[in-house]
Amino acid sequence: MVVKTLNVREDILGANDLIAENLRTQFDRANVFVINIMSSPGAGKTSVILKIIEHFADKLKIGVIEGDIASDVDARKVEAANVDVVQINTDGACHLDANMILSACRSLGIDDKRLVIIENVGNLVCPAEFKLGENLKVMILSIPEGHDKPLKYPLMFTESDALVLNKIDLLPHTDFDMEQLRSTVTAMNPKIRIFPLSAKTGEGVAAFTGWLQGAVEGR
């Protein structure tokens, strides 16, 4: 018997792309701007989302979709900020896919929202492969992770529209080389915007949220 090997990867991504296109049409029709936030576990996705909420809360109606393998820890933090939130538990899957977002949007309701923020599952690899119908992909790298990460995990850096360098308050305690990081990332992705900030101290946050506001208003 001849052993056949099937490559299902492209089929899975192709099917996801179709649902993502459909989502994007729905988002455009409802005039909702969607941001997909990605990073490794603990880089600061939820902390940065809370800063984005602080900036936009009195300007427009926000909804948040939280993606985690388990728990509703992050959704509770967002709920405490008085924002509509839906928690997705992937039960082991290391990324969100467009089908999960479709279900979450039914539960969240998008017609009354102007901005929907998606917190992807903490993982520096898989989330970058799956389109979610978003307008912007924003990734976060935190200073303690090191400036070599773009070389080791390139896809998310090449796919993202913006890179938030979070936890700059920890710079004095690390050997993180900001210039090295900038030159590596811009060589891989010349269009990427880079925002060093600290979600803890607030330093640099205004430059990032100001840029986001321009992106939302420009669409």
Ligand X SMILES: Nc1nc2c(ncn2[C@@H]2O[C@H](COP(=O)(O)OP(=O)(O)OP(=O)(O)O)[C@@H](O)[C@H]2O)c(=O)[nH]1
Q: Enumerate binding residues for ligand X (CB under 6 A).
A: 39, 41-47, 74, 122, 166-167, 169-170, 198-200
DSSP 53: H
Find the shortest distance in angstroms from Cβ 22 to Mg ion.
27
Find the shortest distance in angstroms from Cβ 41 to ligand X.
4
Candidate ranges 12-20, 46-54, 99-107, 128-136; the one touching Mg ion (CB under 5 A): 46-54
For residue 74, state whether it binds Mg ion (rule: CB under 5 A). yes
Q: Which listed range, 14-22, 56-64, 71-79, 175-183, lies at the site for Mg ion (CB under 5 A)? A: 71-79
Candidate ranges 16-24, 26-34, 45-53, 106-114; the one touching Mg ion (CB under 5 A): 45-53
Closer residue to ligand X, CB minimum distance, 27 or 209: 209
Contacted by 198, from Mg ion, ligand X, none: CB < 5 to 8 Å by type? ligand X
Q: Are 37 and 45 in contact (CB under 8 A)?
A: yes
Element (H, E) at 188: helix 178-188
Note whether 45 binds Mg ion by CB under 5 A.
yes
What backbone torsions phi and psi does residue 122 show, to the nearest 5 degrees?
-65, 110
In one-letter notation, the amino acid at residue 43 is A
Q: Which residues, 6+ apart, have CB-to-CB distance to 108 below 8 Å?
A: 63, 65, 84, 85, 86, 116
List b or e across 145-161, with b for residues whose CB sees 16 or more CB atoms inside 10 angstroms.
bebebbeebeebbebbb
Which one of 44-52, 79-87, 165-173, 195-203 is the stretch in contact with Mg ion (CB under 5 A)? 44-52
Minimum Å gap between C-beta 144 and Mg ion is 16
Q: Whose CA is closest to 166, among 39, 35, 36?
A: 39
Q: Which of Mg ion, ligand X, none does residue 39 bind to, with CB < 5 to 8 Å depending on kind?
A: ligand X
Could you tell me the CA-to-CA distances from 175 to 6, 42, 120, 128, 143 in Å, in that order? 45, 19, 28, 27, 9
Cα 199 from chain centroid (whole Å): 15
Cβ-based nearer residue to Mg ion, 46 or 189: 46
Q: Which one, 13 or 155, has the nearer CB to ligand X?
A: 155
Q: Residue 139: name its binding partner from Mg ion, ligand X, none (Cβ under 5 to 8 Å by kind).
A: none
